[in-house]
Structure 1
Amino acid sequence: MNRRFALKALAGTGLAATIAACAPMSEQPSIAGILSTNDQFSTLVAAADAAGLVETLAGPGPFTVFAPTNNAFDKLPAGTVESLLQPENSDQLTAVLTYHVVPGVVTSDQLIGQRTSATTVQGGSLHIDATGSAVHVNDARVTQADIMASNGVIHRIDSVLLPE
């Protein structure tokens, strides 16, 4: 009797493991995972890699990232990105990138109709205006909000934020 019960339990466990192995993963990718698989963020990903921040953005968080697109980086004066990527400018690059990150999760529904500020990981303050038809972070406009990740949220922006 015990042998039959043990065999049934073992067979049930094996079936459950097989089903679990075949089931699609429901977990969302991390912020780093989402950014790295989207070509419009390739400059941001290269900069995060150069600053050694990719692992952090793949970590537990939670973070809110205001993510500038490649076009946003293209708006910077000629040579700025190349200069920031030089090893001797690592501290400046880290300051710029961490100025785009706020601890915790801030979604658009928390901001609608408000003017507020948020302290960044870099230590500076972002001014957020969500009172009009578009959300602005400093001088950047949010072009896509609430890209949810396993460790936070990404808001795509159209300009690079520079610390004061």
Structure 2
Amino acid sequence: MKKLILTITTVALFLFAAKTTAQNQDVVDIAASNKAFSTLVTAVKAAGLVDALKMEGPYTVFAPTNDAFAKIDQNTLGALLKPENKSKLATILTYHVIKGKLTAKDVVAALKKGNGKVTLTTLSGSEITVVQNDKGIWLKDANGNYSMITKTDIMGTNGVIHVIDTVVMP
């Protein structure tokens, strides 16, 4: 019985510590501390957006994983990371960011109010649509492509991150 209590206490302490660590980091630091976002972090640096995304916010970031970036043709991705394409890359990345903090609960409430669909304005000034179907909640970009939200509510000091499986394009 003592081993069970010790195990439960250890797990609870670990979960609390992990949650606290994320809450003491901004959205950029959270992404930088997770290997699954290394391509995103490289792109944010190349676009010169680190300081902007470290500001007070709050922001909602739909963060594509490395696997999401791997779906982009590697020549195209390589070209976007070049200094001469900094503004184009910044436009794509800010298409993944919404001003304000939208938790999963907020998104679900907006979807209910909008009958399964809600349109959001991104930091790039473009609109992106959030839709819900029986398979989950998705982002629909301006080109009609979809990206599934695979994980929600990674809380930071200046916003929240939701993980997506495909890079969305303005």
Interval of TM-score (by shorter of Structure 1 and Structure 2): 0.7 to 0.9
Distance 1:77 1:115, change over 3 A: same
Pairs aligned (count): 140
| Structure 2 residue 162 is matched with structure 1 residue 146 | no
User: How far apart, in 1, do the equivalents of 2:63 and 2:30 lie?
Assistant: 11
Aligned match of 1:12: none
Instruction: Report the 3-state secondary structure (helix = DSSP H, G, I; strand = E; otherwise coil) of the residue aligned with 2:124.
Output: coil
Aligned match of 1:71: 67
Alpha-carbon distance, 1:93 to partner: 0.4
The one-letter code of the counterpart of 1:125 is E
Structure 1 portions without partners, runs of 5+: 1-23
Structure 2 portions without partners, runs of 5+: 1-19, 141-145
Q: With structure 1 as the length reference, what TM-score do the two structures score?
A: 0.81
User: How far apart, in 1, do the equivalents of 2:150 and 2:71 lie?
Assistant: 16
Contact map agreement 1:115 1:127 (CA 8 A) in 2: yes
User: How far apart, in 1, do the equivalents of 2:133 and 2:73 lie?
Assistant: 30
Alpha-carbon distance, 1:27 to partner: 5.2
Aligned match of 2:11: none
Distance 1:130 1:92, change over 3 A: same
User: How far apart, in 2, do the equivalents of 1:37 and 1:26 lie?
Assistant: 9
| Structure 2 residue 47 is matched with structure 1 residue 51 | yes
CA-to-aligned-CA distance 1:27-81 (integer Å, 9 cap, x gap): 5210011000000000000000011111111110100000000000000123111
Instruction: Report the 3-state secondary structure (helix = DSSP H, G, I; strand = E; otherwise coil) of the residue aligned with 1:79.
Output: helix
User: How far apart, in 2, do the equivalents of 1:40 and 1:87 lie?
Assistant: 24
Aligned match of 1:15: none
User: How far apart, in 2, do the equivalents of 1:36 and 1:157 lie?
Assistant: 16
Alpha-carbon distance, 1:26 to partner: 9.4
Moved beyond 6 Å, runs of 4+: none
User: How far apart, in 2, do the equivalents of 1:142 and 1:93 lie?
Assistant: 21
Q: CA RMSD in A?
A: 1.7
Please tell me whether Structure 1 or Structure 2 has the larger radius of gyration of its CA atoms. Answer: 1
